[in-house]
Chains A and B, each alone.
Chain A
Amino acid sequence: MTHKDRWLLWLFLAPTLLLIAVFLYYPMIGTVFESFRDTSFINPTPRFVGFEIYEKILASRDFHEILRNSIIWTLGVVILQNLLGFAAAVLLNQGLPMQGVLRAVVLMPFILPGVVTAILWRFMYDPQLGLINSLMMRFGFFEDGAAWLASSSTAMAAVIFVAIWKGFPFSMLIYLAALQNVDQSQVEAATLDGAGPVRRLFDVTIPAIKDVILVNIVLTLILTFNYFDIVWVLTRGGPQNATHIFPTKIFETGFGQFRFGEAATYGVFSIIVLAIFVALYVIVQKSASNRRPVA
Chain B
Amino acid sequence: MATVELQNLAKNFGGFTALEDLNLMIEDGEFLVLLGPSGCGKSTTMRIIAGLDEPTSGRILIGGKQVNDIPARDRNLAMVFQNYALYPHMTVGENIGYPLKIQRIGRADRERRVREAAAKVEMQELLTRRPAELSGGQRQRVALARAIVRTPQLFLMDEPLSNLDAKLRTVMRAELKHLQKELATTTIYVTHDQVEAMTLADRIVILNDARIQQIGAPAEIYARPANVFVAGFIGSPPMNLIAGEIKDGIFVHATGSLKVEGEPDGAVTLGIRPEDISLVATDKADLEGKVYSSELLGDCTLINAHIGKTLIAAKVRPEDVREINTPVSVGIDHSKLHFFDASTGTRRDNAK
A residues within 8 Å of B by Cβ?
A: 183, 185-186, 188-196, 199, 203-204, 207-208, 210, 291-292, 294-295
Contacts and interface: CB of A to CB of B under 8 A. Distances in A.
A195 B85 contact: no
B52 A193 contact: no
A207 B78 contact: no
Given A186-B85, A294-B88, A295-B132, A192 B98 contact: no
B352 interface: no
B72 A191 contact: yes
B198 interface: no
Nearest to B75: A192
Contacts of B132: 294-295
The A interface, classified by DSSP as helix, strand, loop or mixed, is helix
A196 B51 CA distance: 14
Given A185-B85, A188-B85, A294-B88, A196 B73 contact: yes
Contacts of B85: 183, 185-186, 188-189
Contacts of B83: 183, 185
A94 to B, nearest CB: 15
Interface of B: 50-52, 72-75, 77-79, 81-83, 85-89, 98-99, 102-103, 130-132, 146, 156
Nearest to A188: B52
Given A192-B72, A194-B102, A203 B81 contact: no
A190 B98 contact: yes
A294 B89 contact: yes
Given A185-B85, A195-B102, A295-B132, 7 more contacts: A188-B50, A188-B81, A192-B51, A192-B78, A194-B73, A203-B87, A208-B89
B186 to A, nearest CB: 15
Contacts of B78: 192-193
Contact of A192 (B79, B89, B103): B79
A189 B103 contact: no
Nearest to B72: A191
B81 A207 contact: no
A19 to B, nearest CB: 41
Q: Which of B81, B86, B87, B156 has the most chain A CB within a 10 Å cutoff?
A: B87
Given A188-B81, A191-B52, A199-B102, A291 B73 contact: no
